[in-house]
Every structure is written in C-alpha cells, then in structure tokens.
A and B are shown apart, each in its own frame.
Chain A
Amino acid sequence: GENVEQHPSTLSVQEGDSAVIKCTYSDSASNYFPWYKQELGKGPQLIIDIRSNVGEKKDQRIAVTLNKTAKHFSLHITETQPEDSAVYFCAASIDSGGNEKLTFGTGTRLTIIP
C-alpha cells in the first residue's frame, strides 16, 4: 500500500518569512495530493490540492509543487502570518473518480513567531 513520509515534524518561522513542508510517497499510481490544515481542537480542513497532470498550483500565499519522477510534493507558504500556525498534513491517493481513501503523512506543526 501507499506510504507517505512528511518532513519536518516541527517548523518555526518568523512572521513574514516563507515556510516549506515536504512529503514523499511510495506508490507511483497515486495521482491526487491534498494538503490539510488542522487548527487546535478542530478537524483537518483542505487548503490546497494538486493532481498528477500539473506540476505546480498556487492559491494566494500558498502553493504546492509536485515531482512525479521523484515522487515528492511540497507545500510553500509565503509571507507567513500568525494565523498560519497549525498542524499541516499531506496526503496521497489514487483518484479513480470514486471516493478513494487518503494516506496521510505524520504532520508538521508550524509555528509563526511574531
């Protein structure tokens, strides 16, 4: 089955700086890669996703890049703000048009230092 590894486990950055979180996956058939943000006491929430037919996707201050050959993908947050502090999870799955289960990474706790 799929195995997703995520690094780093914790990350602290100064407000206004950029943050990068990296994930690798094992199953070359995976083609859907979402990122979830989990704030304290809440369930995870989708913030951005990418499919294997594109290499990069951007939404305001967040972007995700995908390297299918190397089987890794990354989350980039620019101009970080205090409200970006949370735990971020990457995930991978095979999107065959149905509701496929996701394999999650172990999470990165991001702390933005004011």
Chain B
Amino acid sequence: GAGVSQSPSNKVTEKGKDVELRCDPISGHTALYWYRQSLGQGLEFLIYFQGNSAPDKSGLPSDRFSAERTGGSVSTLTIQRTQQEDSAVYLCASSPRGGKNNEQFFGPGTRLTVL
C-alpha cells in the first residue's frame, strides 16, 4: 500500500519568508510525528499528534514553528519568518493504532533551504 508521502520534496526560500510543509500519513495511522534532520545530525523530535489528544509540542524550537493535523489525517508544519538555521530535512512519520509495536513509518522528507 501507499506509504507516508511528503510535499514538496525540496523547498528553497528566502530568509524571512513563511513555508508550509505537508505530510500525508498512512491511512488509518493515528499517530503522526515531525522530526528535523540537520546535515550530519540525528533526528530531532519536533511535535507529535496522537488521535484527538492535544499534540506534544515539546520539541518545537521556537514560536516560529507550528503544526496542525486536520481531520486526524494530513498534517502541515509551518515555519514563519524562516532563518538560515532552519535549513534541514524535515521528516514526517506515522504509526498505527495500538502501539505495542511502536514502529514509525517515515516519509522521504522535505529538504528545506533558506537562503
């Protein structure tokens, strides 16, 4: 079946502009995660949605970052007033209901470049 998809695959923007990154999780998956991967670094947790519960925003690095998940499916990560240090690959993952197996299924990521 279809995996996690993300769009755009690449985004180049100018410093100070806002960007929106989209994630389409696997159908039926209740949990959705956003991570940031800077060059040569690990995966930095940003935000986590689980069903209808309030999202865990503890990883968002500043108030310029926000995310929504509409209808329990598609999610959008918004970065306002982008800075050069925001340049990274942004990865989305989803996980099925019943988390005995916590496997997270990752999308291919969106590579963001802030000039």
Contacts and interface: CB of A to CB of B under 8 A. Distances in A.
Interface of A: 6, 32, 34, 36, 41-46, 49, 89, 93, 95, 97-107
A113 to B, nearest CB: 21
Which of the listed residues B4, B56, B101, B108 has the most CB atoms from chain A within 10 Å of its own CB?
B101
A34 to B, nearest CB: 7
Nearest to B33: A101
21 contacts: A34-B102, A34-B103, A36-B106, A42-B108, A43-B91, A43-B93, A43-B107, A43-B108, A46-B103, A46-B104, A49-B101, A49-B102, A89-B42, A95-B99, A97-B98, A97-B100, A98-B50, A99-B30, A102-B102, A104-B43, A107-B41
Interface in B22-39: 30-31, 33, 35
B48 A101 contact: yes
Contacts of A6: 42
Contacts of B73: none
Nearest to B97: A99
A98 B99 contact: yes
Interface in B63-97: 91, 93, 95
Given A43-B91, A105-B42, A32 B106 contact: no
Contact of A99 (B45, B95, B107): B95
